Structure 1
Amino acid sequence: MLQFEGVVATGSAALDSGIGDTALKTFNGTTYLYTVTGPGGGVAVWRLVEGALPQLVDTEYYSGTITFQVGRSGTPITLAGTEQLVLDVNMAVGLVGYDLNVDGTLDSLTETGSLTGGGDISAIVQVSIGLMDVLAMAHEETGQIGTYLVNQDGTLSLAGLVSGTGDAMQTLRAGTDHFLISSDAASNTVSTYRIDSISGQLTEIDNGSALGTLGISTPTAVETINAYGKPWVIVAGAGSNSLSVLQLNADGSLSATDHILDSLTTRFESVQDLEVVDINGRVFVVAGGGDDGLTLFTLTPEGQLVYLDSFADTLISGLQNVESLSLAHVGDELQVLATSQQGAGVTVITVPVDNLGIVDKGFGAVSGTAADDMLSGSILDTALMGGDGDDILIAGTGATTMSGGAGADIFVMQSGSSMTTITDFQPGVDRLDLFDYLLLRSPQQLTFTSTTQGARIEYRGEVVQVQSASGGTLTSADIFGAGFDGPDHIPVDFGNFGGLTPDSSDGVLGPITVDSQSANPGLSDAEIKFTPVGGGTVSVTADDQGQFDLDLPDGTFPGRLDIIKHYSTASKEIDAMDALQVLRISVGLDPTWGPPAAENLIAADINQDGTINALDALAILQVAVGQPTAHEPQWVFLDSNADLSGITKSNVDYQTGMDVVAIDGVITADMTSILLGNLEAA
């Protein structure tokens, strides 16, 4: 897909070598590329043309006091109707930039009035909030991020300053609020700020827990985009050789949806820059860095990166140590414009986007078009039919049947899906993507069985039936070649990490209301599972407030709700007295308070073998004194209307979970929560 077109240069070393930044600006439907070099250099302007290399339209060498004080960044902004390319000038007191003409060329160099934080700007971004126009700037000299209101005459008024650093900044709207996302490689930080819709001031939001689990090291770039009805943040980590995708929630919190690492088949090791673009409802991401090349992905509606292609540097492509990237949609092309730390000029690579089809998700029969479609399954059994294009078919949680049709198709599996069947796999043309399978790195980890019609693939309970498009058997080499293409995907939800115990926290004993639209006391860090009748299980982990979103489709779906929650030893709810009470029950005595209720008997059977005996008392005592036990305590959740009248000490028989009906994605249920091993409060 990535097609090398050529390298363009001005012929001046001062403008072609050491390009630190590239920026795009569109005037009257024509897009222009601005390339910026550092001290002793200048700016070059290129007009982008469909089907041809960029055309040079202007150059400007730095002069006067800024010649050796200017950095290597340039950002287009608008001040009271005047378009500018803002520069980073070390000794400036105001905002310094070139005015831009409507033909893309550079006009005079201007400077605004003095800025409180100074004119040494490491990053700048502009956002409109209602009638308010806001510039956010990272002031390098003072270590502050400031927001400034743009007045009608083009002057700037300080809204506020906060401590912070950033060499890349973007804004994004989530819900009714706007947010600033800043990354800084030197301080190894990614920060989130809410922008006040009235004053323009910043308030930092703590996203340390969401970002800390990803292991992002040396964040060199951050990009944001609203796509598929959701706000997304993508972060590049040079030290971790990683790309991370996070969804921005309405309260400013971040939820990781994907985290990938560079591999032998990708080209974003030591990633220096990334760019993202939405073309007719399809999101493309390109990344590059010290790996001498570029890698292209598309983003799914669930926030996962699907690998499309990589381009490795050649003797003529000039991609040794990629420094900066810009993406432009020009006619029927996606133009990738890259500069490098070693080569001179701008490398131009194109991706055809003239045949993009639909993005659709559903159940039952989901049909594509003759174009390049992206189709996803859902919670019920689904048949995905791609048609004639180069399609991406994504399994749902229910049983999924995939038919790619003609074209080079990508079949994407999902962890936890029911049986998935591919009806027409073409060896050497189609690709099977198993990136979502936990800790899968090589085809050698799979149980691969060739069949008369193709192959059966199994991994940790996942099953994929692959049928050959031409009939006959398929080998592992037919499907995977020499190995997997694409990056390594690292799990981002540790709620059910290969059977390991997830985070635990205090719960609530007794009646509890489960509501998918609000916080749920007692459900923090619990795993919420919903299995619709005739479909696959959808599972999410509630946050520390017990909030969760199963992301169910609209409609009415009866099914089964189950909750799994582990015990927090920090609560010290289970003690030696609980063991004593169980021992009394096991020998036929009542607990010290009198006859036990059915809930007491359920709590007493910690090993869940259906009877209460001395082994239960021993296990509870081991928990109480901090000794290892084969029967760890946990919370169980029952239908609040369940009939428990038949439970006795020798017949502890009950069913967890309850039948519910999800209506337009909303589930509300009344349940009873019981902590196994805790009798006194049960």
Structure 2
Amino acid sequence: MMLQFERVVATGSAALDSGIGDTALKTFNGDTYLYSVTGPGGGVAVWKLSDGLIPQLTDTVYFSGALATTAGRMGFPVSLAGEDQLILSVRYASGLVGYAMNPDGTLGQLHESSGLVGGGNLSAVAQVSTSLGDVLVLAQNDIGQIATYSVDAQGDLQLVQMVSAAVDSMQTVTIGANHVVVASDSISSSFTTFSVDDATGGLSAVDNSEVLATLGIAVPTKIDVVQAYNQSWVIVAGSESNSLSVMKLTSDGRLDPTDHVLDSRHTRFESVQDLSVVNVDGHVFVVAGGGDDGVSLFTLIPNGQLVYLDSFADTVESGLQNVEALSVAHVGDELQVLVSSQQDAGLTQLSVALPDLGVVRKGFGTVHGTAGADKLSGGILDTELLGGAGDDILIAGTGSTTMTGGSGADIFVMQFGSDPTTITDFQAGLDRLDMYDFPLLRTPGQLTFTATHQGARIGYLNEKVELISASGGGLTADQVFGAGFDGPDHIPVDFGDFGGLDPGSSDGVLGPVTINSETENPALAQAEIRFSLDGGGTVSVRTDEDGRFDLGLPPGVFSGELDIIKTYSTASSDINALDALQVLRMSVGLNPTWGAPAPENIIAADITRDGTVNALDALAILQTAVGQTSKHLPQWVFLDDDADLSGITRSNVDYETGVGVTIDGGGFATDMTSILLGNLEPV
């Protein structure tokens, strides 16, 4: 899919064409209208969007009277007492100011509702429907507050709550019975989620600081929310970090990062100012633009990663110098992208032709596509993905995956930690490999590339990809990758792939524990859960701060081995010099100070995991206790609660971690024993 320049459209009035600060979309009776706002001395222009046609200028309104000097450059469509309004940001206003939006797209009477506290100079507006009725969420940066208001039958506002927060981009989303507000502020470079009380409309902040600290989002300029693939997703534009970040959003407002991409010489979202997300028949598209004179197009795949599709750079005909605002609409058989510039007048119209969009499917065994543009994902078991005739995106699973793209221009997306992947019909110069899930991979030169008689074999770390040429014969690296990788750089969002969590991770629980996939697990806070399917691949997920996790398995019954990887929190100080002394006593044949050691004590003493308890274990524990660097880091081990430990002695520390489990319908519970290596306590 490609971004195609169509034209620049303008009203012919400098007051409405220059300095467009915001655009907004609204659909009436199946017709889509775009509203552009220019601010002081300007007004609002309304454009009707039609498939394959030039946007039709439908209405213009010039700010007059006090609005001519006090109106801002933003417009927010809302519904008040059954009437659609385009709310404006207005300095010094005592109420909520907005134009009625008529069913034919035109703007009607100017309204000012009563009951607004703190003035009408709004930086962001969102709306949510609750048991209380419609609730408006208004951000007022003049006073550094977010306020929620109930809306009565006459459209007047009643203050519910005000909380301290600076916000200039905001979205709401309803997940099941819960409502969440997602908000960001570019000045303070902050990002916050709030849960909304369904009965009262009140806000409660959700602490996501630890999650966000790992992403490196600098100066968030825009957020958008989309619901797809049975999940809610938040996408954040970071201007100074030149980044787009994707996070899964839970019903209680918690965030789980899934992707973080940086602008590169192939893309056009440096100093990103705006982004827009649209869901078309289950396929999610993202467009972003900023300070490097162009826009970039992505699609979001079911695992929460962005797959790069195309970029469009400014030309002498287009008007994309320093993108200010953009909106993306699904109109007929295309996406229409309308973009305003900080320097060029008018709106640049780009289009993306949408061929017959196919299915979005994930599974194992054989997964069939259609003649359209499909998104097919492999699973934990061995999988064959058959794309068909369209321009498909085929995504490797964790099990062994065989992909056949078919005749279209296909994108094959690799996944780190998967079993070997085979592509049966790679078309050089047409198909593309997306390997950005492989950590720290930036150029084809980092790969092991071997030409074979039928294609090529590619290796990276422990990953293996077999390419079979659609035309027969061997493939060269130039044929597969051309001048190099296209698209942005992807930064890992889970550094557990690089040898475990940071030593400041949370505490665990010593002794017998119950692992339950449907509840909190205090022993597993910030741990890695690995499930290796019998005869299949391995699923690896990270728990949250309460030890909750979801393996994301498809329906059915699966048997395999469950293992848990969790590092030690130095902040707990559970390992100290006394532990080193106890191990030193054990290394010379003495008992710990409390008496004979249990098998669990002997396991804990062997921190070097060399099978014996000796003075090297005592030294490594002492180094940890006093804060020195040791090559033998303490960590938690989890054993089957029914494991036979009777054969363990100080000279024979031999044990297996993990436990066999059967998972039915995605849920399971099992009993294990958790031991902190280096921590010696009576059992």
Does the TM-score normalized on the shorter chain lie above 0.5?
yes
Unaligned runs of 5+ residues in structure 2 are: none
Alignment of 1:439-588 (within 5 A): 439-497=440-498, 503-588=504-589
**In structure 1, what is the equivalent of residue 229 of structure 2?**
228
**In structure 1, what is the equivalent of residue 384 of structure 2?**
383
**In structure 1, what is the equivalent of residue 315 of structure 2?**
314
CA separation of 1:614/1:164 partners in 2, compared to 1, >3 Å: closer, same or farther?
closer
Residue type at the aligned position of 1:289:
G
Residue type at the aligned position of 2:45:
A
> What is the deviation of 1:441?
0.8
CA separation of 1:620/1:131 partners in 2, compared to 1, >3 Å: closer, same or farther?
closer
> What is the deviation of 1:499?
6.1
> What is the deviation of 1:643?
1.2
Residue type at the aligned position of 1:159:
V
Q: 1: CA distance between counterparts of 2:582 and 2:118?
A: 67
Q: 1: CA distance between counterparts of 2:52 and 2:437?
A: 37
Q: 1: CA distance between counterparts of 2:421 and 2:359?
A: 22
SS in 1 for 2:550: coil
The answer on whether the counterparts of 1:438 and 1:498 sit within 8 Å (CA) in structure 2 is no
**In structure 2, what is the equivalent of residue 108 of structure 1?**
109
> What is the deviation of 1:418?
0.7
CA separation of 1:89/1:640 partners in 2, compared to 1, >3 Å: closer, same or farther?
same
SS in 2 for 1:643: coil
Residue type at the aligned position of 1:70:
A
The answer on whether the counterparts of 2:132 and 2:198 sit within 8 Å (CA) in structure 1 is no
SS in 2 for 1:319: coil
The answer on whether the counterparts of 1:447 and 1:459 sit within 8 Å (CA) in structure 2 is yes
CA separation of 1:117/1:653 partners in 2, compared to 1, >3 Å: closer, same or farther?
same
**In structure 2, what is the equivalent of residue 431 of structure 1?**
432
**In structure 2, what is the equivalent of residue 97 of structure 1?**
98
The answer on whether the counterparts of 1:117 and 1:146 sit within 8 Å (CA) in structure 2 is no
CA separation of 1:291/1:220 partners in 2, compared to 1, >3 Å: closer, same or farther?
same
Q: 1: CA distance between counterparts of 2:102 and 2:582?
A: 84
> What is the deviation of 1:448?
1.1
The answer on whether the counterparts of 2:605 and 2:613 sit within 8 Å (CA) in structure 1 is yes
User: Any idea what the Cα deviations from partners look like across 1:104-133, whole Å, max 9, x if unmatched?
Assistant: 112222211251121111211122124610
Alignment of 1:289-368 (within 5 A): 289-368=290-369
Q: 1: CA distance between counterparts of 2:382 and 2:75?
A: 51
SS in 1 for 2:505: coil
CA separation of 1:645/1:321 partners in 2, compared to 1, >3 Å: closer, same or farther?
same
Q: 2: CA distance between counterparts of 1:227 and 1:496?
A: 27
Alignment of 1:27-46 (within 5 A): 27-46=28-47
CA separation of 1:446/1:103 partners in 2, compared to 1, >3 Å: closer, same or farther?
same
**In structure 1, what is the equivalent of residue 192 of structure 2?**
191
Residue type at the aligned position of 2:371:
A
State which drifts further: 495-504 or 653-662: 495-504
The answer on whether the counterparts of 1:82 and 1:99 sit within 8 Å (CA) in structure 2 is yes
**In structure 1, what is the equivalent of residue 654 of structure 2?**
653
**In structure 1, what is the equivalent of residue 121 of structure 2?**
120
**In structure 2, what is the equivalent of residue 255 of structure 1?**
256
CA separation of 1:156/1:620 partners in 2, compared to 1, >3 Å: closer, same or farther?
closer
> What is the deviation of 1:39?
1.1
TM, length-normalised to structure 1: 0.97
The answer on whether the counterparts of 1:495 and 1:503 sit within 8 Å (CA) in structure 2 is no
The answer on whether the counterparts of 2:503 and 2:568 sit within 8 Å (CA) in structure 1 is no
User: Any idea what the Cα deviations from partners look like across 1:554-595, whole Å, max 9, x if unmatched?
Assistant: 211100011112222333333333333333333333334333
How many residue pairs align between the two structures? 682
Residue type at the aligned position of 1:453:
Q
Q: Percent identity at matched positions?
A: 65
Residue type at the aligned position of 2:52:
G
Alignment of 1:123-272 (within 5 A): 123-130=124-131, 132-272=133-273
User: Any idea what the Cα deviations from partners look like across 1:515-555, whole Å, max 9, x if unmatched?
Assistant: 11111122212221110111111112222222222212221
SS in 2 for 1:599: helix
> What is the deviation of 1:487?
0.7
> What is the deviation of 1:376?
0.3
CA separation of 1:160/1:423 partners in 2, compared to 1, >3 Å: closer, same or farther?
same
The answer on whether the counterparts of 1:80 and 1:150 sit within 8 Å (CA) in structure 2 is yes
Q: 2: CA distance between counterparts of 1:202 and 1:576?
A: 47
Residue type at the aligned position of 2:202:
Q
SS in 2 for 1:665: coil
Q: 1: CA distance between counterparts of 2:314 and 2:142?
A: 37
Residue type at the aligned position of 2:163:
V
Q: 2: CA distance between counterparts of 1:577 and 1:43?
A: 73
User: Any idea what the Cα deviations from partners look like across 1:148-175, whole Å, max 9, x if unmatched?
Assistant: 1111111111111111222211101234
User: Any idea what the Cα deviations from partners look like across 1:272-316, whole Å, max 9, x if unmatched?
Assistant: 100001111111110011111111111111111111111111110
Residue type at the aligned position of 2:262:
L
The answer on whether the counterparts of 2:402 and 2:422 sit within 8 Å (CA) in structure 1 is yes
Q: 1: CA distance between counterparts of 2:370 and 2:661?
A: 36
Residue type at the aligned position of 2:75:
G
> What is the deviation of 1:440?
0.8
> What is the deviation of 1:338?
0.8
1:22 corresponds to 2:23: yes
> What is the deviation of 1:619?
2.7
CA separation of 1:502/1:495 partners in 2, compared to 1, >3 Å: closer, same or farther?
farther
Residue type at the aligned position of 2:283:
R
CA separation of 1:617/1:184 partners in 2, compared to 1, >3 Å: closer, same or farther?
closer
Residue type at the aligned position of 1:300:
I
> What is the deviation of 1:270?
0.6
**In structure 1, what is the equivalent of residue 406 of structure 2?**
405
1:610 corresponds to 2:602: no
Q: 1: CA distance between counterparts of 2:18 and 2:42?
A: 9
The answer on whether the counterparts of 1:173 and 1:231 sit within 8 Å (CA) in structure 2 is no
> What is the deviation of 1:37?
0.7
User: Any idea what the Cα deviations from partners look like across 1:611-659, whole Å, max 9, x if unmatched?
Assistant: 2233323333333333333322222111111111222222221111111
Residue type at the aligned position of 1:649:
R
SS in 1 for 2:523: coil
TM, length-normalised to structure 2: 0.97
SS in 2 for 1:67: helix
The answer on whether the counterparts of 1:496 and 1:502 sit within 8 Å (CA) in structure 2 is no
> What is the deviation of 1:677?
2.3
Q: 1: CA distance between counterparts of 2:303 and 2:238?
A: 21
Unaligned runs of 5+ residues in structure 1 are: none
SS in 1 for 2:69: coil
The answer on whether the counterparts of 2:368 and 2:387 sit within 8 Å (CA) in structure 1 is yes
The answer on whether the counterparts of 1:93 and 1:120 sit within 8 Å (CA) in structure 2 is no
**In structure 2, what is the equivalent of residue 55 of structure 1?**
56
User: Any idea what the Cα deviations from partners look like across 1:342-372, whole Å, max 9, x if unmatched?
Assistant: 1111111111224100000001101100100
The answer on whether the counterparts of 1:35 and 1:44 sit within 8 Å (CA) in structure 2 is yes
Q: CA RMSD in A?
A: 1.6
CA separation of 1:549/1:586 partners in 2, compared to 1, >3 Å: closer, same or farther?
same
**In structure 2, what is the equivalent of residue 600 of structure 1?**
601
Residue type at the aligned position of 1:457:
I
User: Any idea what the Cα deviations from partners look like across 1:248-270, whole Å, max 9, x if unmatched?
Assistant: 11221111111111011111001
Q: 2: CA distance between counterparts of 1:573 and 1:213?
A: 26
